[in-house]
Every structure is written in structure tokens, then in C-alpha cells.
Amino acid sequence: MKMTKSMANILLLITSVFWGSGFVVTKIALDANVSPGFINFVRGFLFVVCVLMFFHKKIFKMTFRDFKVGLIAGLLNFGGFITQTIGVIYTTPSNNAFITATYVVIVSFIAWIIYGKKFQAKSLVAIVVCLVGMAIISGISNEEINLNIGDLYTLICAIFYAGSIVYLGYSARTSDFSVVAFMLAAVQAIGGIAFFLLVEQGELSDINWSVALVPLLYMGVICSFVGQTLQVLAQKHTSATSAGLIMTLESIFGSIFSITFGFEPLTGKLVVGGTLIMLSIILMELDFKLLLCKSKLKEIIKS
């Protein structure tokens, strides 16, 4: 059966739910005394196993170019994962989700600086709106800067993710997804175990495994492997604008899960700040020239 655009968008929506739930699941694992490094190791290891199970033939034919592209993308991706995981320790899942979503706005900035891609006027407006939203949700007052360390880590995470997306967009177009996915997973696993052993001193005795096991399995299999596989499959059958708008809903779902599971209350600051961040993302994704052309075309037809 041929996949329609509507079916593809539904798959992307499911992916957004998975990724949104990942913010809360990560918080549960952290509360069970699993360290950020070990979380990333387990998540990456399970991802590697799943990718090898389904795509081993393509992975074993990896070229040096695929390896290099995957390695650089993997390092950027791991930087995002590790700082995001550390950030959840010190902030709420909602803050973590919304601030992470600012990568959509940062992408155009990085593409302009590194690749010289034309910087659109709407990008500047979106960045300003995004910064205002982030200031509100992070609790920065007019009198003094009081940025939570967890929010700062999450902002760094968003920069890493943006760098990864830009790099993949310009450098990995001819690389097979399964190979790149394998490298993303492998670098996350290796980086996670290295961080765990060198920075966190490899301590496992305090982990509450009865609480941590299911979240760890969920992150590796559902959030990483299933989520990314559905994303790649669906994006072949829908527009980039539709995909971008739907995927950013992960921050909304992340906030809904966080409030539902009692990690934080629903506050006005969260609603206002989150709404502004989502508005900035929509501004980035919408093609106003195309909308204007369609509007003029309708007027001509009516007349």
C-alpha cells in the first residue's frame, strides 16, 4: 500500500509523542540515580543493536566517506544528547523540551554563518520572539540575569542539535540513512561510556534498577530507534514544512507528559514562554512568499 501524505504526517505525529515522552522518561531515569553518561551509553548501545538487526548488510558496506560524515554528525549529536540529559537534572522536563526546540531557530543562524545561506528577515523576527519566550520560561528577570544552570545546558544542547541538523543537511545527502544512523548510535554509546568512566567515575551501586530499567529500554528502543526510523520513513512522503511543524510538537508533548506525571505544575510562565517559542518555530517553518502567491492567485480566480 502506497503511503499518503496524511499517513506520513500521522507517523511524524507519533514520533513527536515518543520524543516528547523521552523528556519525562529521562527524568525518571535520572531520579533513579542513573548518570547522564550511562543513560547515553545504554541508549546508544540499544540503538546500535536495533540498527544492526535490521540494516546490517548496508552497514557492513560502509564507505570511508559515510564513516567520516557519520562520525562528525555523531559527535555533534552526542554533544546535544549529553548536555540535554545533564540539563534535565537541574530544570524541569517542560523547560528542557521547549528550550531544546529552539534548535529550529538556531539552524538558520548556523547555516548563514558556516555555509553562507541567505538569512531571511523572518529568521531575525523568529530569533527575537524565541529569545523572549526562552527568557520568560527560564525565569530571567529585568533586574538581574538568573538563568538556571539546567536551562543553560539545554540551550547548549539546542546549539549542538542545530549544528548536527545543518551538517547532515549539507553533507549527508548522498549517504545512506542506515549507515549514518548506525554512526549516530555508535558515537552516542562510545561517548556515553567514556563520559561515564572518565567524568562520572563509573559508579553504578546507587542505581535503583527496578525503576531505571524500563525507562532505559524505552529510550533506546522507542525514542531512538523507532522514533528516528519512523521519521525518515515519513519524511519521504510529506513536505519539509509539514514535517518541521509536526516534529516541533515534541516540546508540547514533553510539557504535557511532565505536568501529567507530576514533575511540575502548569504555570502562566510556562504557557506564555512555551507559546512564544512555538510561535517562533512556526515563523521559521512557514513560507510566507508561497502563502502570499496563493492568496493572490485566489483573488485573481475570484475576480
* 65-74, 183-192, 263-272, 279-288 — most confident range: 183-192
* Residue 156 pLDDT greater than 50, yes or no: yes
Rounded mean pLDDT of 261-268? Answer: 75
In this predicted structure, what is the pLDDT of residue 297?
47
Q: Is the pTM of this model over 0.85?
A: no
Query: Cell numbers at residue 272, please?
Result: 506564555
* 121-125, 191-195, 240-244 — most confident range: 191-195
Quick one: which H or E segment has residue 137? helix 121-138
Output the CA torsion 87→227→274→271 (10° steps).
Answer: -110
Structure-model confidence comparison of residues 219 and 168, the more confident one: 219
192, 38 contact by CB (below 8 A): yes
Rounded mean pLDDT of 226-237? Answer: 75
Percent of the chain with pLDDT over 90: 7
Its sign, for the CA torsion 85, 87, 91, 94, is negative
* Cα–Cα dist 166/300, whole Å: 38
Rounded mean pLDDT of 227-255? Answer: 70
Give alpha helix (H) positions in 32-117. 36-59, 64-90, 93-100, 103-115
Percent of the chain with pLDDT over 70: 77
Quick one: pLDDT band at residue 205, thresholds 50, 70, 90?
confident
Structure-model confidence comparison of residues 148 and 221, the more confident one: 221
* Cα–Cα dist 249/246, whole Å: 6
Beta-carbon count within 10 A of 232 CB: 14
